[in-house]
Amino acid sequence: MNEKTIRLNENNVLKLSIETNDGKKTGEYLEFDLEDIGLPFRYEELLEKDKKNKQNLRNKILIIDKKQDFTKKGQILSNNEKEKMIALNDFFNKEIEVYNMFLGENGVQKLLNGRKIGWTTLQEIDDIIEKQIQPYLETNMKDITEMVKKKYGQAINKNKEQIEVIE
């Protein structure tokens, strides 16, 4: 029996290859289905959860700062400094989870390309999203809105006319 092949149409898939600072391709990429209606919602959820994570970290640090601090003999970090490092580590782990929800599986790790997550790398990721991904989201949402109007606009207008006549 002959095997047949189905070729998938990926016209509205944004595929961004990832390069190092010196322009070498890493072999990794981020992929976004621009017709996925849930994509803008995931982006909004990213922004909300990021804000909550930052507020949670601030609250934890405020609580730690109110505690009496001490350093045990032979330790480099004080007890409060240790607690802050643990809180910061938890924060970064939550941030990775939140960003990957939007960027896709291992999206943060792909963008870090072996580097550790930190404040500067989070800012770099925010810049990438804002400058290289968000414009596509905005353009695509306008396109989807126009397609819906074009396809269903007549039906909506007909329904409006029927409603106006009834009133």
Q: Write the CB contacts of 42 (distance below 8 Å, at least 6 apart in sequence).
A: 101, 102
Q: What is the reported pLDDT for 147?
A: 75
Q: Pick 160 or 49 by higher pLDDT.
A: 49
Backbone dihedral region for residue 6 (phi beyond 0: left; psi -120 to 50: alpha; all else: beta): beta
In angstroms, what is the C-alpha Rg of the chain? 24
Structure tokens, 13: 């898939």
Percentage, residues of the chain above pLDDT 70: 87
**Mean pLDDT across the stretch 23-28?**
92
CA distance 4 to 114: 40
Q: Pick 164 or 1 by higher pLDDT.
A: 1
pLDDT tens-digit readout, 42-70: 999 999 999 999 999 999 999 999 999 99
Name all contacts of 121-127 with Cβ < 8 Å and 24+ positions apart. 122/92, 122/95, 125/99
Q: What is the reported pLDDT for 1?
A: 65
Are the beta carbons of 88 and 57 closer than 8 angstroms?
yes
> What are the residue ranges spanned by the domains of the chain?
38-111
pLDDT tens-digit readout, 91-114: 999 999 999 999 999 999 999 999
- Predicted TM-score (pTM) of this structure: 0.79
